[in-house]
Structure 1
Amino acid sequence: MKKVIAMLSSILLALSVVGCSSTKKSSTSSTDQYPLTLTHAFGTTTIKKEPKRVAAIGWENGDTPLALGIVPVGVSRSNYGAETKNHLHVWTDQAFKKLGENNPVVFDDTDGWDYEAIAKTKPDVIIASYSGMTKEEYETLSKIAPVLPYKKNAWQTTWRDQTIENATALGKKKEGEELVKKTEALIKEKLSSYPDLKGKKSAFMWFSAEDLSKFYVYTLKDPRAAYLQDLSLEVPESIKSIDSKDFSLTVSREKASTFKDVELIVTYGDEALLKKMQSDPLLSQIPAIKNGAVVLLSSDSELAAGTTPSILSIPHNLDNYLKVINEAAKKA
């Protein structure tokens, strides 16, 4: 840690000499008053003046400023699902290009935050409302610029909260709320074509074809599971009753019958995985598995990434997501 801090100190000293000139495309045009004090899991962050240069780290936090018409000075690399040559999800890359940026700065944080790369972008604020940031990481990042992490727990921020919290840090809370309303209206419009989805008891789970002795159930604290409710699917009582502070729960195969009220499952995998689960006498006690009412998401697809929703991924993936869910629901 001392080495990291020393490195940051030298970088920041150099940046202070060079200065922080911002470009029009990366600046905000806020109407909120400053200073802004934001409360989060690690305390409070005060943003003294309107941020002109925005760095976004963690899962799709850069989608918020992009949706607001702001080009981030740097964003985290997509680390799951299909990615473009810029190492971004398609919808994120498209948003950059729409705003005139064809070669965005992308942080490779696969093995942890790239503090040096983040510092080099000279950010005025670092947004990460949906992330797994630790307190130690927060403190190190705060030496670069004011940081907005998650409000309560890691990886438990819904797409609505992600959008509004990130927008608030940019002085654009009202605009963020408006984006959420427009997206909710879009979802409602699209759902009108899928009336049979309403009330289907559904869950988001994870299985490994190499080891079916256990599986993972995503709780309602996870944005993937929470998003299913937006799509008019019902939460089974077995999921509602999970008493856990975590976003997922490890379940042994012997307890598969606990989820006998699950009619539809969304998971990552392929037909081979489904066949193995159906041939398992315990897992096949779950109605969704027995009947084949399972949405199978290829790990290298756009949709696999889009099931963890953001303000940009929803409009990009919604049609395809509803289509595959509807196909699975027909078997329920």
Structure 2
Amino acid sequence: MRVRRTLTAATGLLAASALALAGCASSSPEDDAAPAAEETADQFPITIEHALGTTTIEEEPTRVATWGWGSTEAAIASGVYPVAVAEQIWTVGEDALLPWVETAYEEAGEELPVLLDDSAGGEEVPYEQFAETAPDLIIATYSGLTEEQYALLEEIAPVVAYPEAPWTTPWDENITLTAEALGRSEAGADVLAEFEDYAAGIAADHPEFEGKTIAAIVDDPQNGQIFVYNSSDPRAGFLEKLGFTTAPAVDELDPTGGEDFFYTLSYEELDKLESDVVVAYTYTEEQAEALPDSKELSALPALRDGMVAQVVGTVNVSSVSPPTALSYDWPEGVPALAENLGELLG
């Protein structure tokens, strides 16, 4: 089942460095249970193997909590509205949901979820908050859970973690695994098919993307470096879905050998990051305006050649970092990026 939503562009771009604990719902956990939007097709129990263990879900979950990125949207798109989700301080600020998530709840008439404290960006887990929401399943398929965190959460409810490594789950696997954990594999397949059709449509409309090399970066001027997402990162995977090829230099320059999903590259080494085009995720309009004329970035071959496409603003950047089951058609995200890339390469 695909959740339809009317997305508005009037979304505040709020950045926050600290967060007050989100208030819990006043009603009891039983009152807050999100009703299933449709009957599940899969039979329980369901057993899922992942990087941190094997999880068996004995019966259809009715109180789902999510942690990390994208699993909230995947659950909603599959017909399940989580009762608790990780907050996204960097994107939308304190006490707020991602706009496409909030719209989905409102249009479905569902009670908004409890916001789980994620002020440490995934490094710390609010176990007490999880326990207070009384989940019967925790989905963290695209997260940074450690073995210790996983074990502690398992004491609260069954946990489905990432399939291979932290923060590297491809956008399509995130949808598939989430739907499988919910017993809604068919719904997940429908969501994924729509997502893939959308990406294929962009690729078909832009044959100029085919075979062009690309790199995805974030500028970090305070430390004189850039962040580079390597080929294991879902951002790179989605760009490849549009027809691009991750530039060989992206992985060749990675000092971690692919052990992490990104690495840093000093300004002094920018000339080594050869690619036909670069996607720069930029957080403010001021940064975006300054980037093309940046002396510090001038050694970057793509910038020198005028081949940098930007995604600007925390909400817009979040909609493509990587895209999710509800954000892939956010107007100022993938659609605007594809248009920008088309103009550069056309």
The alignment's TM-score, normalised by the length of structure 2, stands at: 0.80
SS, match of residue 59 in structure 2: coil
Greater helix share, 1 or 2?
Answer: 1
1:60 to 70, 79, 94: 70
SS, match of residue 315 in structure 1: coil
Per-residue CA deviations over 1:8-59 (Å, capped at 9, x if unaligned) read: xxxxxxxxxx884674635763222222221111111111111111111111
SS, match of residue 130 in structure 1: coil
Residue matched to 1:91: 100
Structure 2 stretches lacking a partner, 5+ long: 1-27
Greater shift after overlay, 174-183 or 61-70? 174-183
Separation in structure 2 between the aligned mates of residue 138 and residue 323 of structure 1, nearest angstrom: 41
Contact 2:32/2:83, CA 8 A, preserved across alignment: no
Separation in structure 2 between the aligned mates of residue 102 and residue 51 of structure 1, nearest angstrom: 17
Separation in structure 2 between the aligned mates of residue 24 and residue 128 of structure 1, nearest angstrom: 18
Residue matched to 1:221: 232
Q: Does 1:69 align with 2:79?
A: yes
Residue matched to 1:108: 117
Fraction of identical pairs, as percent: 30
Letter in 1 for 2:113: P
Q: CA deviation at 1:202?
A: 1.0
Evaluate the alpha carbon distance shift between residue 131 and residue 266 of structure 1 in structure 2; reply closer, same or farther with a 3 A threshold. same
Contact 1:204/1:217, CA 8 A, preserved across alignment: yes
Evaluate the alpha carbon distance shift between residue 195 and residue 86 of structure 1 in structure 2; reply closer, same or farther with a 3 A threshold. farther
Evaluate the alpha carbon distance shift between residue 95 and residue 257 of structure 1 in structure 2; reply closer, same or farther with a 3 A threshold. same
Residue matched to 1:37: 47
Contact 1:204/1:266, CA 8 A, preserved across alignment: yes
Q: CA deviation at 1:164?
A: 0.6
Which is greater in Rg? 1
Q: CA deviation at 1:216?
A: 2.2
Residue matched to 1:307: 321
Count residues with an aligned counterpart. Answer: 308
Separation in structure 2 between the aligned mates of residue 261 and residue 81 of structure 1, nearest angstrom: 28
The alignment's TM-score, normalised by the length of structure 1, stands at: 0.84
Evaluate the alpha carbon distance shift between residue 200 and residue 312 of structure 1 in structure 2; reply closer, same or farther with a 3 A threshold. same
Structure 1 stretches lacking a partner, 5+ long: 1-17
Greater shift after overlay, 68-77 or 267-276? 267-276
1:244 to 234, 258, 261: 258
Letter in 2 for 1:318: V
Evaluate the alpha carbon distance shift between residue 32 and residue 103 of structure 1 in structure 2; reply closer, same or farther with a 3 A threshold. closer
Residue matched to 1:271: 289
Cα RMSD after superposing both structures: 2.5
Q: CA deviation at 1:295?
A: 2.3
**What pairs up with 1:259-298 in 2 under 5 angstroms?**
259-268=273-282, 269-276=287-294, 279-280=295-296, 283-298=297-312
